């Protein structure tokens, strides 16, 4: 079975540029989560979707960040304009349902560097 697929794996861009991260969840999963991982703050939930609808975006740090899920098999996280402090590893995860005991399956992340 294919796991959660994220692209690109690495992204290096200059401050001010638009960055788009992509995620394909596991087929059949109906919940999708975006996380950011840094040394200082650890693993933080940014936003999650259930059945393609955003449920909680309280973790999105600023209006520069936006996320969409146009269909059950694709989601994007966009940063515009990007800043050096956005440099981090961004993970997408999916699960079947939002039940508290449903395990989340993570992709291998996108390592983002903003120069």
Q: Distances in Å between the alpha carbon of 55 and those of 24, 41, 47, 83?
A: 18, 23, 8, 26
Asked whether position 53 contacts another protein by CB under 8 A, the answer is no
Asked whether position 67 contacts another protein by CB under 8 A, the answer is no
Q: How far is the CB of 72 from another protein (least distance, A)?
A: 20
CA gap 83, 74 in Å, rounded: 25
Q: How far is the CB of 52 from another protein (least distance, A)?
A: 18
Residues of this chain, 82-101, that bind another protein according to CB under 8 A: 91, 93, 100-101
Q: How far is the CB of 74 from another protein (least distance, A)?
A: 18
Residue with Cβ nearer another protein (37 or 73): 37
Sequential DSSP letters for 1-32:
----EEE-SEEEE-TT--EEEEEEPPTT--EE
CA gap 73, 58 in Å, rounded: 23
Q: Which of 50, 52, 66, 104 binds another protein (CB under 8 A)?
A: 104
Binding site for another protein (CB under 8 A): 4, 42-45, 48, 56, 91, 93, 100-101, 103-109
């Amino acid at each position: 079975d294919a796991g959660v697929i994220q692209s690109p794996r690495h992204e290096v861009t200059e401050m001010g540029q638009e960055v788009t991260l992509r995620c394909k969840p596991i087929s059949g999963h109906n919940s999708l989560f975006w996380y950011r991982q840094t040394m200082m703050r650890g693993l933080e939930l940014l936003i999650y979707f259930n059945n393609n609808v955003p449920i909680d975006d309280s973790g999105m740090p600023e209006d520069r960040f936006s996320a969409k899920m146009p269909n059950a098999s694709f989601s994007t996280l966009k940063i515009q304009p990007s800043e050096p402090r956005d440099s981090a590893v961004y993970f997408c995860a999916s699960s079947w349902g939002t039940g508290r005991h449903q395990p989340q399956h993570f992709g291998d992340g996108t390592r983002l560097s903003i120069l």
